Amino acid sequence: MSRTARLMLFFLALGPFVLACCWAIAGLPRFSGPEHRYGALAADQSLSASKINNAVTAVTFDIRGFDTLAEEFILFAAITGILLLLRMKREEKQENDLDRARKGRIMFKTSGAVVFLGRHLMIIVALVGLSIALHATVSPGGGFQGGVIIASVMLIFIFVNSLHGAAEMLTRIFEIVESIGMLGYLACGVCGWFAGASFLENILPKADRGELLSGGLVPLINFSVLLAVAGGFCVLLLEFVKQELIHIRGDGQ
Amino acid sequence: MSFLPYMAAFYLLCIGLYGIVSSRSLIHTAFCLFILQSSTYVLLIAIGFVHHGRPPVFMPGRPALPAVDPVVQAQVLTDIIISAAVTGLLIALTLENYKRTGSINPNKRHAMKG
C-alpha cells in the first residue's frame, strides 16, 4: 500500500476512533476522584501484611509478584532477541584499529578531562543507583529504577575507555549477571514450595516497618530484579556499541 | 477541565499512530511506537491521581492518607522498562534490515531472502 493511501485510510478511520475514545473518556472515573478502592486496599495491605513503607514496592514485588516475574521474562526475551539479531554473522568480522586506519576513519583520542570526569562520575552514578535500588522498602526506588541507573554507568565506561577487546568479555559477564538475577527471582518463588506454601508466597520472617530488610522475601526479589535489569541493559548497550566495531567482510576492499 | 489529563493521553496516542502511519524510516517508526506507549503512562498516572494526595511512601509519624494510587504507579514502572527493552529490539531489527537490504524505508518492499 502506498503512503498516500495509508494516510487517507488513517484519517478516514480517525473520525470514528476519536468519537469512540471521547465516549470512553466520558465513562472514566472523574479525574482525582475519591474512589480508589483497590489502591487503598493495596496501601493498607503493604503496611499491615507486607510491612513495607513504600506501597509501590509492595505492589510490584509482593502483591503482584507473579506478574512482575512475567514482566521480567518479557525483558529477558527482548534482550535474548537483541543478542540473537546482532550476533556476529559468517560474513562479518570485528574491525581492529589497523582496519580502521586503512579505511581512513579518524581515530579520536579521548581527552584527559573526559577521562578524569568520567571515572569519577562512574563511581557516583553507581553509588546513586545502588542506593536507590537497595532502599526499595523504605523510600522511593527499587530494583528496576536502580538497575537502569547502574546500567548507565556502562555508557560512561564506553565513553571513557576504548572498548576494543573488552566488549566480548563484558557481554559474557553481564549475560551471566542477568541470568543470575532471573534465577534468583525464580528461586525466591520456589522457596515457597519447599516451605509448604504456594509459589512466591512471602514466607520469610518480616522485620519492622522502616527497616532496610523489612518485608521478608521482598528485599531478595528486589536484589535479583536489580541484577537482571542492570545486567540486561548493560548487554543491550554493549551489543549496540559492538555493531560499530563490526564490518562486513569484502566491504570496501 | 477534569478530562484534560485523559485527553492528553489520547492526544499522545493519536500523534504516535499518525507517526507510525506516515513514517518514512523504521527508526522513526520505533520511536513513534515509544510515544504511543507513553500515552499509557499518562493515562495510568492520571487515573491514580488524588487531589492533595501524598506519595504512597508512608513514614511513621506522618498521616498515612490520602495517598495517590500505588497500584497504577507500579504498573507504569514495569511498563517503562518493558517498552525500553522492546524499543531496543525494534532498533536491532531495523539494523538487521539495513544490513540486508541497505534501506530503512518501510515503504520499499524487498523480496524475502531465506
Q: Domains, chain B, ranges and CATH? A: 4-101 (1.10.287)
Structural domain that includes position A78:
3-248
State the DSSP code for B62: S
pLDDT of residue A69: 93
In a domain, A99, yes or no: yes
- The answer on pLDDT for A196 being more than 90 is no
State the DSSP code for A60: I
In a domain, A36, yes or no: yes
- The label of the residue with cell 513503607 reads A53
- The answer on pLDDT for A32 being more than 90 is no
Shortest CA gap B111–chain A (Å): 16
**CA dihedral sign, ordered A211, A65, A139, B50:** negative
In a domain, A240, yes or no: yes
Find which of A33-47, A49-63, A98-112 is predicted with most confidence, using mean pLDDT. Answer: A49-63
- The answer on pLDDT for A52 being more than 80 is yes
Q: Which of A34, A47, A68 sits opposite B78 (nearest CB)?
A: A68
- The label of the residue with cell 494526595 reads B53
Overall domain count for chain A = 1
List chain A residues with CB under 8 Å of B85. 74-75, 78-79, 232-233, 236
Read off the pTM.
Answer: 0.87
Of A226 and A168, the structure prediction assigns the larger pLDDT to: A226
Closest Cα in chain B to A4: B22
- The label of the residue with cell 537497595 reads A134
- The answer on pLDDT for B3 being more than 60 is yes
Interchain pair B72, A30: CB under 8 A: no
Q: What is the Cα–Cα distance from B91 to B99, expressed in whole angstroms?
A: 12
Q: What is the Cα–Cα distance from A7 to B19, expressed in whole angstroms?
A: 10
Interchain pair B71, A236: CB under 8 A: no
- Our CA angle for B18, B24, B30, nearest 5°, is 65
What ipTM, to 2 d.p.? 0.85
User: In chain B, what percentage of residues exceed pLDDT 70?
Assistant: 89
Which of A21, A59, A79 to mutate: most B Cβ within 10 Å? Answer: A59
Shortest CA gap A227–chain B (Å): 14
Interchain pair A82, B92: CB under 8 A: yes
Confidence of residue A99 (pLDDT cuts 50, 70, 90): low
pLDDT of residue A98: 64
CB atoms within 10 A of CB A147: 27
Work out the average pLDDT over B33-61.
87
Q: Which of A56, A81, A210 sits opposite B89 (nearest CB)?
A: A81
Number of A/B CB contacts below 8 angstroms equals 148
pLDDT digits (tens, 9 = 90+) for B49-92: 888 888 888 877 666 667 888 899 999 998 898 899 889 999 99
State the DSSP code for B37: H
pLDDT of residue A87: 83
Contact A53, B64 (CB under 8 A): no
pLDDT digits (tens, 9 = 90+) for A128-150: 999 999 998 888 888 999 999 99
pLDDT of residue B110: 66
pLDDT of residue B27: 92
Of A210 and A218, the structure prediction assigns the larger pLDDT to: A218
State the DSSP code for A59: I
pLDDT of residue A253: 37
Q: Which residues pair with A246 in a beta bridge?
A: A94
List chain B residues with CB under 8 Å of A59. 70-71, 73-74
In a domain, A23, yes or no: yes
In a domain, A253, yes or no: no
Q: What is the rounded (10 degree) CA torsion for A11, A17, A23, A28?
A: -120
Average pLDDT of chain B? 86
pLDDT of residue B91: 93
